[in-house]
Structure 1
Amino acid sequence: MGLVSIRREGDKMTRQEERIRARRRQRRRQARMVRRVVFGVCLFIILILCIYGHHNHKRVLSLQSEIDRLEQQLKKSKSDSNDLKKQLDELQKELEQKQQELDKKEAALYDDPNKPNVYMTFDDGPSSNTDTILDTLAANNIRATFFCIAQKGEANEKRYQRIVNEGHTIGMHSYTHEYGTVYASLESFEQDVTQISDYIFQMTGVRPKYYRFPGGSSNTVSKVPMKECIRYLNQSGLTYFDWNAQNDDATGKSYTASQLVEHAMKNVKMAGDNVVLLMHDEQTKTATAEALPTLIKRLKNAGYDILPITDKTPLVQHVSKDSVS
């Protein structure tokens, strides 16, 4: 019995040792598997980082190339800008030179100190009579001044443009020519001047700088003291012209063309050597347009130069701008 017991005990210990060795082998296999998994994961992470790094490197190179391109473009733009500025400066100098030459030619053509001057002015247009007036002026190589109001319609838009394109001076004569509106208040007057200035600029591309008051600077219908209106024009850099002669086409009487010529010549001779002649370019002033060819001929025969208003024109003002502080 003792020997059998000993053998059984020995077999039991042997089985226990085998189980222990088996568990050890299993743990070693698990450990190897864990190491392999960890190694694989690390290898995968390294691979991902390498791919990402390569992509970022390519992106950095691409961005650097784009930056270099933009820097070159900026340098070229600066160079082009400098070249453009130089060209503009040269064109400006050429323009000033041509303008000086033109001024000299105009002075030689128009400004004869030995002759009296007549500045023909036409108020209230454009109208259907404008075309006839412009045709007559062109046929006689004469330039005049048109103090315009806001006349609408495609035909009138073309007339504004024709006035400017044919070398005449375009001025302002209010937007509406309605005394009650224009002179209702100083604010109304200022608004009206802005409106007609913008309207003429819209029609012609020319910003007008000459103004004629509806009724003149000495009118008595304005609800605003005229000196306040004059002060506004002075502060705005605008020059206003009244008149010292007229053809009487706005007296309310119906004169024939020949009568208008006689009235104009009589008033011109009484006005002196610098005459601003008031006439009207309204729809109803057909006789004024018809009288113009004869009037031009009579003025030339009498020794007058017929000129447009410019910055050199002596001021004719019923109320002097210098009387307003």
Structure 2
Amino acid sequence: MLIILSLILYSSKVKIKTLKTSLSYEINTNKQLEISTKILKLSIIELQTNVNDLNKTINTLVVGTKPIANTLKTGEKEVYLTFDDGPSDNTSKVLEILKDNNVNATFFVNGHPGYEDIYKQIINQGNVIGNHTYSHDYKTAYSSISNYNQDVNKLNSFLEGIGIPRPTLMRFPGGSNNTISNNYGGKDIMNKLTSEEIKKGYQYIDWNVSSGDAEKMTESKDIIIDNVMRGSKGMKSIVILFHDSNPKTTTAQALPIIIKNLKERGYVFKTLSINSPIIHFK
């Protein structure tokens, strides 16, 4: 009888040990499953965060670079007059002509202390200001992305100091496809800058019609008129490049005739905005 009881006790101990082992295994399995579940949840959260960040980046790039849907009415043609490198004494003449002809323009300005009243007049007259860097010095601006941003920010601070909000529009000195920048920042500097400035919230604008007034210190008035009228022929949406620095007196002289001719061709005059049709060389 004692032997039988011993065997039963032994068998019970074995069963208890087996049960404990199974229970321990199940507990460990559950813990591992719980840990795995937590890891999976964290992975899903991290993945969702990455997806959200990626969507934000894509939205920034797409909104910043794709041409806005054409809002032109049937048969309508639009023209954007743009002036670089001012303001100067010459800008006052340009502003007077614009006012007399009831049209507006976009001015891609540099930093010119002493012309604070002209900057303000540009805005007060219903025109738009864009950033063209403070210095317009290729070596200063294009030696690095950091230097370019410093030059841009210097102009922003200058404008804000006289009550003009930070521009959202930008034009690179020489245009986005200039090659002189290669001498200072390397062959890829403009590719990097165009991407960088869009990420910062700017829209850079090039042009599709050039007045040619930068070909000489002071180009012939008739040549400027001819360049614009030939360059815009057959086009529905044009962004014209002019300059309003002091030597460009013939640009101001040509402007009334250009405005008159474009009006006769049926063009509607507009100012650029972040939502305007985009002209990019790069």
Query: TM-score, with normalisation over the residues of structure 1?
Result: 0.61
Q: 1:161 to 1:111 in 2, by over 3 A?
A: farther
Aligned counterpart in structure 1 of residue 224 of structure 2, from 253, 260, 273: 260
State how far apart, in whole Å, the 2-side matches of 1:277 and 1:299 are: 12
Conserved 8 A contact 1:136-1:293: yes
Greater percentage in helix: 1
| Displacement of 1:255 | 2.9
| Displacement of 1:317 | 0.5
State how far apart, in whole Å, the 2-side matches of 1:285 and 1:306 are: 22
Is 1:208 the equivalent of 2:208?
Answer: no
What whole-Å deviation, never above 9, does each CA across 1:41-60 have from its counterpart, x for those lacking one? Answer: xxxxxxxxxxxxxxxxxxxx
For the residue of structure 1 that corresponds to 2:162, the secondary structure is helix
Query: Which protein shows a greater Rg?
Result: 1
Aligned counterpart in structure 2 of residue 243 of structure 1, from 207, 211, 216: 207
State how far apart, in whole Å, the 1-side matches of 2:165 and 2:218 are: 35
Runs of 4 or more consecutive aligned structure 1 residues displaced over 3 Å after TM superposition: 110-113
State how far apart, in whole Å, the 2-side matches of 1:112 and 1:133 are: 29
| Displacement of 1:241 | 0.1
Is 1:138 the equivalent of 2:99?
Answer: yes
What whole-Å deviation, never above 9, does each CA across 1:187-238 have from its counterpart, x for those lacking one? Answer: 1011111111221222233221100000110111113311111122111100
Partner in structure 2 of residue 187 of structure 1? 146
Letter in structure 1 aligned against 2:259: I
| Displacement of 1:254 | 4.3
What whole-Å deviation, never above 9, does each CA across 1:143-192 have from its counterpart, x for those lacking one? Answer: 10000000111xx1000000011110100111100101110111101111
The alignment yields a C-alpha RMSD, in angstroms, of: 1.5
Conserved 8 A contact 2:218-2:247: no
Partner in structure 2 of residue 36 of structure 1? none
Query: TM-score, with normalisation over the residues of structure 2?
Result: 0.70
For these two proteins, the number of residue pairs brought into alignment is 207
Equivalent positions of 1:14-53 (< 5 A) are: none
Letter in structure 1 aligned against 2:179: T
| Displacement of 1:258 | 2.5
State how far apart, in whole Å, the 1-side matches of 2:278 and 2:225 are: 24
